[in-house]
């Protein structure tokens, strides 16, 4: 049976132009799925610098540990990703599997294993049949091309209903540079670094240290501001590779004013991808933006916003198209952050429903109900305590989430 595409999906896959120094390929090797691609290979030009952010999970996967070690070298020549099996909770065998895959890719592409970044996504706790990947890599490498972005995005999907990609351009010293990104994620999504697999590529010349200093805050403002189900994956990985082929004078310090255009473009790509993850939340029917103002700090506002966005009661009320602001009051109160009941104000779709600790008398429910029936829901809270603000994105919680996760291994 064909998988139903999320009603919140973009109208079409975006047009991603080639990135000089990057070639992509995908193939079907049968790691777990049949009749679809499940391996993605990226070949990167010599001298490509790399940055990454990874899950904070204490039960993280072997590929995450490998990438964290590999990143210390500052360069990348290849990325190999499989879907269907996360190679997590697989003991020493998991590390050996990663090592074999990296060694095979390195031999194929003429680089060191430590320059090969590995990621896996799928079922936890099952041994990865990595021989299927290593046996299939030579044929996959034969199809490397500079325009295979959609095929690469499709190969890393698990419960995703659509492939996710974004692109933006920037200018450094008058030189145009491009950023392309693909990612996957639909469930087990909670902001604890990136909550997904994401691969970003640019032709800009930027040192590894500067690249890291640009990626980390971009992730905080995007991937760390989404949640589907409050669960942090064992495999979360975001890697940013810079080939240096655009020809700009290299940026070696993220504080360099010449980096500002790139910083803005990177944040735009990351935010676009992050929102696509929330729009593809398992079973999602509504995309939800939660704004919190008036907190004692931005950090405090973000905790409150995530408490609201993660609340099953809030999310199911939204699924039921019920502007139940009492659920929001509950979520604010449990967040563990400074809050004053008598200063709290709440809006749905821009319509005030509660002000300074009590219901707005006689508010008109008709426009609010109309807003709740749409595919995009906006919820705002003002704590009335300070100037701290935060915005996070989530989705509603429907029975579809249960249907997907109740049969995930079968």
Positions at the binding site for substrate: 158, 184, 195, 282, 405, 410
User: Is residue 38 within 8 Å of residue 84, measured between CB atoms?
Assistant: yes
Q: Does residue 75 carry a catalytic annotation? A: no
DSSP summary character for residue 232 = P
Q: Return the bridge partners of 204, or none.
A: none
Smallest Cα–Cα separation from 78: which of 103, 53, 100? Answer: 103
Determine contact, residues 356/342, Cβ cutoff 8 Å.
Answer: yes
Distance, in Å, from the CA atom of 185 to the CA atom of 121, rounded to the nearest integer, reads 9
- Count CB-CB contacts under 10 A for residue 5: 11
- Phi, psi (5° rounding) for residue 68? -65, -40
User: Which residues share a beta bridge with 85?
Assistant: 123
How far apart, in whole angstroms, are the C-alpha atoms of residue 200 and residue 216? 13
Quick one: how far is CA 24 from the chain centroid?
20
Annotated binding-site ranges:
158, 184, 195, 282, 405, 410
Helix %, strand %, coil % for the chain, to 5? Answer: 35, 25, 40
Q: Which helix (H) or strand (E) holds 106?
A: helix 91-109
- Compute how many other C-beta atoms are within 10 angstroms of the C-beta atom of residue 66: 25
Sequence-separated (6 or more) residues with CB below 8 Å from residue 18 = 146, 147
Sorted by sequence, the CB contacts under 8 Å of residue 281 that are 6+ apart come out as 6, 186, 187, 189, 228, 229, 394, 395, 401
Exposed/middle/buried for 240, CB within 10 Å: 0-12, 13-18, 19+? buried
Q: For residues 237 and 162, what is the distance between their CA atoms, to the nearest angstrom? A: 19
From the candidates 121, 167, 195, 243, which is the catalytic residue? 195
The catalytic residues are 195
């Amino acid at each position: 049976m064909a998988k139903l595409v999320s009603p919140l999906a973009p109208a079409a896959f975006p047009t991603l132009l080639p990135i000089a120094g990057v070639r992509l390929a995908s193939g079907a090797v049968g790691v777990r799925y049949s009749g679809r691609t499940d391996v993605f290979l990226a070949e990167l030009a010599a001298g490509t610098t790399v940055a990454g952010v990874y899950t904070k999970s204490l039960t993280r996967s072997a590929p995450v540990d490998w990438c964290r070690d590999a990143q210390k070298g500052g360069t990348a020549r290849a990325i190999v990703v499989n879907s269907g099996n996360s190679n997590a909770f697989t003991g020493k065998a998991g590390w050996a599997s990663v090592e074999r895959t990296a060694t095979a890719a390195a031999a194929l592409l003429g680089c060191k294993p430590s320059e090969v970044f590995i990621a896996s996504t799928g079922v936890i706790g099952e041994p990865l049949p990595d021989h299927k990947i290593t046996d299939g890599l030579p044929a996959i490498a034969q199809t490397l091309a500079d325009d295979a972005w959609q095929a690469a995005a499709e190969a890393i999907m698990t419960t995703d209903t659509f492939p996710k990609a974004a692109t933006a351009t920037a200018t450094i010293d008058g030189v145009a540079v491009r950023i392309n990104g693909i990612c996957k994620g639909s469930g087990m999504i909670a902001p604890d670094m990136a909550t997904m697999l994401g691969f970003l590529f640019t032709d800009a010349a930027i040192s590894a240290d500067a690249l890291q200093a640009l990626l980390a805050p971009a992730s905080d403002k995007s991937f760390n501001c989404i949640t589907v189900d409050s669960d942090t994956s064992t495999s979360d990985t975001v890697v940013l590779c810079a080939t240096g082929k655009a020809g700009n004078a290299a940026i070696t310090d993220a504080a360099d004013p010449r980096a500002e255009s790139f910083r803005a473009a990177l944040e735009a790509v990351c935010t676009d991808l992050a929102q696509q993850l929330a729009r593809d939340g398992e079973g999602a029917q509504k995309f939800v933006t939660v704004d919190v103002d008036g907190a004692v700090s931005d950090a405090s506002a973000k905790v409150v916003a995530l408490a609201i966005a993660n609340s099953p009661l809030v999310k199911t009320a939204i699924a039921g198209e019920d502007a139940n602001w009492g659920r929001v009051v509950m979520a604010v109160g449990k967040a563990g952050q400074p809050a004053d009941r008598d200063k709290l104000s709440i809006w749905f779709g821009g319509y005030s429903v509660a002000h300074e600790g009590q219901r707005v008398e006689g508010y008109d429910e008709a426009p609010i109900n109309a807003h709740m029936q749409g595919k995009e829901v906006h919820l705002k809270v003002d704590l009335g305590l300070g100037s701290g603000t935060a915005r996070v994105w989530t989705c509603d919680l429907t029975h579809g989430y249960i249907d997907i996760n109740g049969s995930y291994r079968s």
